[in-house]
A and B are shown apart, each in its own frame.
Chain A
């Protein structure tokens, strides 16, 4: 079972920041938080991941609370092309598995 809880849907105005929350209260010390998104009828796309420090890349920022029980994915300037289902995944980094356990995700709708 997925170890994360996300709101089923969110809306965001184009050009504004989209803040997508994720709860992972049972996360273990050696588990990372990963974010993927899936645009309609395409394969999921990796966005970002982190352990405990905040992370930023060209797509998004990831803010992880100090107790690591929740995190927020931030898309700083949402565009219509960011409309997708966003998945927050807790993943144990192991050399012998690539397995991802997807939850139900958050459907983000960006409107003009």
Chain B
């Protein structure tokens, strides 16, 4: 079956703009998590959605937000972009059961200039 897909794969934005990233989970998966990866901070948890509800949230400012649709597809939005938001944004999907294996997508590489 198809894996987790993320669009777009690469994105260049200017400071102050806003951006929306999309994640399509594996068919049947109800949980989608988002992570930010930077050289300085490594892989950091942003938030998780399960059945259209945010189930967990990491320690990121309110400029970072997300949502999940009834088909489990998820989007994350970053408003008022800063240079430090340049990163690889990864999403992962799972069945959402306790200990369920998570499958990661290839990521969206965002560059803020």
Contact = CB atoms under 8 A, between A and B. Distances in A.
Interface stretch (A67-75, A76-84, A93-101): A93-101
By size class, the interface of chain A is: 20 to 34
Interface in B71-113: 88, 90, 92, 94, 96-107
Contacts of B99: 32, 49, 91, 93
Q: Which DSSP category, helix, strand, loop or mixed, fits chain B's interface?
A: strand
Contact of A98 (B42, B90, B100): B100
B48 A97 contact: yes
Nearest to B103: A46
B24 interface: no
A45 B104 contact: yes
Contact of A43 (B92, B96, B100): B92
Nearest to A103: B42
B57 to A, nearest CB: 9
A91 B101 CA distance: 12
Nearest to B32: A98
A42 B42 contact: no
B85 to A, nearest CB: 18
Given A44-B43, A44-B90, A104-B42, A98 B107 contact: no
